[in-house]
Amino acid sequence: MTMSRFWSDVVKGLKPYVPGEQPRLANLVKLNTNENPYGPSPQALEAIRAATDESLKLYPDPNAEQLKLAIAKYHGIESKNVFVGNGSDEVLAHIFLGLLKQARPILFPDITYSFYPVYCGLYQVDFETVALADDFSIRVGDYAKPNGGIIFPNPNAPTGCPLPLAEIERLLQSNSDSVVVIDEAYVDFGGESAIPLIAKYPNLLVVQTLSKSRSLAGLRVGFAAGHADLIEALERVKNSFNSYPLDRLAIAGAAAAYEDREYFDKTCRAVIASREKLISELKALGFEVLPSAANFIFVRHPQHDAEKSALALRRRSIIVRHFKLPRIEQFLRITVGTDAQCAALISALKEILSA
Ligand SMILES: *Cc1c(COP(=O)(O)O)cnc(C)c1O
DSSP annotation string for 184-246: -TTGGGT---SGGGTTT-TTEEEEEESSSTT--TTT--EEEEE-HHHHHHHHHHHTTT-S--S
CB neighbours (10 Å) of residue 163? 22
Pocket lining: 183 vs ligand 1, CB cutoff 6 Å: yes
- Residue 158 near ligand 1, beta carbon < 6 Å: no
Q: To test the ligand 1 pocket, which listed residue (212, 246, 333) has its Cβ within 8 A of the most ligand atoms?
A: 212
Closest to 277 in 3D by CA, of 352, 202, 341, 192: 341
Q: Is the CB of 109 under 6 A from ligand 1?
A: no
88 Cβ below 6 A of ligand 1: yes
Residue 278 CA to residue 337 CA, distance in Å, equals: 10
pLDDT at 168 over 80: yes
Asked whether the domain spanning 42-261 has the same topology as the one spanning 3-39+265-354, the reply is no
pLDDT at 244 over 90: yes
pLDDT at 221: 98
Q: To which CATH superfamily is domain 3-39+265-354 assigned?
A: Aspartate Aminotransferase, domain 1 (3.90.1150.10)
Determine the pLDDT at residue 274: 97
Which pLDDT score, from 0 to 100, does residue 22 have?
A: 81
Pocket lining: 341 vs ligand 1, CB cutoff 6 Å:
no
What share of the chain has pLDDT > 90, as a percent? 94
Using one digit for the tens of pLDDT, what is the confidence trace for 69-99?
999 999 999 999 999 999 999 999 999 999 9
Using the predicted structure, report yes or no on whether residue 21 has a pLDDT greater than 90. no
Reduced to 3 states, what is the DSSP secondary structure of residue 299? strand
Residue 1 has pLDDT above 70, yes or no: no
Is residue 2 scored above 80 in pLDDT?
no
The rounded Å distance from CA 113 to ligand 1 centre is: 8
**Quick one: pLDDT at residue 240?**
98
Q: Is the CB of 159 under 6 A from ligand 1?
A: no
Residue ranges of the domains in the chain? 3-39+265-354, 42-261
**Measured in angstroms, how far is the CA atom of residue 6 from the centroid of ligand 1?**
32
Helix 65-75 to helix 248-259 angle (10° resolution) is 20
**pLDDT (tens digit, 9 = 90+) per residue, 117-135?**
999 999 999 999 999 999 9
Q: Specify the CATH number of the domain 42-261.
A: 3.40.640.10
pLDDT at 257 over 80: yes
Helix (H, G, I), strand (E, B) or coil at 316: coil
- Which atom of ligand 1 has the smallest separation from the CA of 87? 7
Q: Is pLDDT of 23 > 90?
A: no
Task: In whole angstroms, give the CA distance from residue 57 to residue 310.
Answer: 46
Mean pLDDT across the chain, nearest whole number?
96
- Position 4 pLDDT exceeds 70: yes
157 lines ligand 1 (CB under 6 A): yes
Distance in Å, CA 169 to ligand 1 centroid:
23
Q: Quick one: which atom of ligand 1 is closest to the CA of 88? A: 7
CB-ligand 1 contact for 151 (6 Å cutoff): no
Cβ of 185 closer than 6 Å to ligand 1, yes or no, is yes
pTM above 0.85, yes or no: yes
**Cβ(127)–Cβ(120) under 8 Å?**
yes
Residue nearest to atom 2 of ligand 1 (CA): 185
Half-sphere exposure of 42 (CA within 13 A, CB side): 3
- pLDDT tens-digit map of 170-223: 999 999 999 999 999 999 999 999 999 999 999 999 999 999 999 999 999 999
Q: Which amino acid is at 12?
A: K
Has residue 25 got a pLDDT over 80? no
Task: Kindly provide the b/e burial profile for residues 318-333, where b requires at least 16 CB atoms within 10 angstroms of the residue's own CB.
Answer: bbbbbbeeeebebbbb
Ligand 1 close to Cβ of residue 37 (< 6 A): no
Q: Could you tell me how many residues make up the chain?
A: 355
Q: Ligand 1 centroid vs 118 CA: distance in angstroms?
A: 14
Q: How many CB atoms lie within 10 A of CB 142?
A: 13
Question: Which residue(s) pair with 129 in the sheet?
Answer: 108
Render pLDDT for 260-309 as a digit per residue (tens, 0 to 9). Answer: 999 999 999 999 999 999 999 999 999 999 999 999 999 999 999 999 99
**What share of the chain in percent tops pLDDT 70?**
100
DSSP 2: -
Task: Supply the residue whose CA is at minimum distance from atom 14 of ligand 1.
Answer: 185
Give SS3 for 75: helix
Contact status, residue 62 vs residue 68, Cβ threshold 8 Å: no
Pair type for strands 82-85 and 222-226: antiparallel
Ligand 1 pocket residue status of 89, Cβ below 6 Å? yes
Q: Are 109 and 153 in contact (CB under 8 A)?
A: no
- Which atom, in ligand 1's list, is nearest to the CA of 211? 8
How far is residue 44's CA from residue 53's CA, in Å, rounded to a whole number?
16
CA of 313 to the centre of ligand 1 (A): 25
